[in-house]
Amino acid sequence: MATIEEQVEILMSGAEYGDPETKETMRRDLRERLIECQEQGRPLRVYCGYDPRTADLHLGHTITMRKLRQFQEFGHDVTFLVGTFTSLIGDPSDKDKLRDQLTPEQVEENAQTYAEQAFKILDPQLTRVRRNDEWLSTLDFADIIHLASNFTVQQFLVRENFAKRMESHTPIYLHEFFYALMQAYDAVAQEADVQVGGQDQLFNILVAGRKLQQGLGQKPQIAIIMGESLPGTDGEIKMSKSLGNHIPLLSEPWDMYGKVMSIPDKAMPIYHKLLLGWSNSLVDELEQGLKSGALHPNEVKMALAREIVRIFHGQEASEAAQKRWDEVFRSGGGIPEDIPQTVITAEEKVVDILHRLKMVSSKQEAKRLIEQNGIRLNEQPLTDAMATVKPEMLPAVLQVGKRKFVRLVAE
């Protein structure tokens, strides 16, 4: 069994606050809370919240999930909190403009598979799954006034994103202040000892959550703020669905493999560190090997892609994704063997086929890809956005980009 010092060392690894003094305070508080819980014969109550603003979690979300998994492995009580109420507003923390408000129906639809996705990392037998509408939806207006009386407007306005909007005369709506208040109440409702989050959650967790707990007579939670964010497929900006640089956990194995292969070489070290849990010394060795030429970037990236697919889809899917990659990009064959098939019974526009099969998000996107030579029929680029496929032309293979294929056949 790990000692308290060993737990503190591992659980604080990767945490950053932009201030050494704050980090030392959190380290001290965590040690003291572990001792206290040990004396009381109970585990730490730990959680992290995930707002279902979209239907899929992505690889970037797994950074905090891996920290939750560390708490699980030490025997602590871990909650995967689905923000079914907070997501109605949406976190303004890292946004320089107003977020669209979702309906309860949209949130519910998005939340359906969140727990299933989380169990790719978390132990389902040791994970408590809760939704914050359980307590937030029961608050009345008098409750909101009481909770809000613990904060000043100035505390919110000094936040970087709000300050920028003030300077640029961009509207800040009153309901946007409620997000931090609601998230703070999540900590109160669960009597949390620890909350895990990313850098964009620093104010919500470290300031709002701790302050509200103290104001309502609870001990303030320990904030575990992960210091590094996973860059998206562009290798530069934090992975985000809204920016389109994300790799969804629900990606098909082949698509996940291909998206990992698309990341720039310079992003490989941090992917190994944050997704595979490599130590700093191993990451240093990797960087030196790439720099000296002892390691070939493409081989390293393929191994990374295989391992990420294995984690989320299993060994068989990982091997199949590698085989398909080899068929398309290494053997020169161009078209994989195991592609989906659909029946065409009458003449149909290519853009309609692509949209119907969800190979593109819209017909407009299909037209744009055709203009960019991104759509191929039987390995030949299409140039006419009005191009059609007729039954007498079948069988044929339609391709979008480098990774999406469908075989069109007649009845």
- What are the pLDDT digits (tens) for 92-139? 554 444 456 677 788 888 788 888 889 999 999 999 999 999 999 999
Residue range 341-409, CATH number: 3.10.290.10
DSSP 404: E
Extract the runs of DSSP E, i.e. beta strands, from 205-346.
222-225, 341-343
Nearest one of 157, 224, 198 to 8, comparing CA atoms = 224
Q: Report how far residue 250's alpha carbon sits from residue 313's, in angstroms, rounded to the nearest whole number.
A: 9
pLDDT of 96 reads 46
Q: Report how far residue 8's alpha carbon sits from residue 38's, in angstroms, rounded to the nearest whole number.
A: 14
Q: Report how far residue 317's alpha carbon sits from residue 253's, in angstroms, rounded to the nearest whole number.
A: 6
pLDDT tens per residue across span 30-80: 999 999 999 999 999 999 999 887 778 899 999 999 999 999 999 999 999
Q: What is the dihedral of CA 217, 208, 181, 65, to 10 degrees?
A: -100
DSSP 131: E
Reported confidence tier of residue 140, pLDDT bands at 50, 70, 90? very high
Single pTM value for the model: 0.76
Is the CB of residue 385 less than 8 Å from the CB of residue 367?
Answer: yes
Domain(s) labelled CATH 3.40.50.620 in the chain stretch across 4-225
Residue with the two structure tokens 């931090």: 180
Domain(s) labelled CATH 1.10.240.10 in the chain stretch across 253-330
Domain(s) labelled CATH 3.10.290.10 in the chain stretch across 341-409
Q: Tell me which fold the domain 4-225 belongs to.
A: Rossmann fold (3.40.50)
The per-residue DSSP string of 172-213 comes to: --HHHHHHHHHHHHHHHHHT-SEEEE-GGGHIIIIIIIHHHH
- Phi and psi for 185 in degrees, rounded to 5? -70, -25
CB atoms within 10 A of CB 372: 10
Q: Does domain 253-330 have CATH number 1.10.240.10?
A: yes
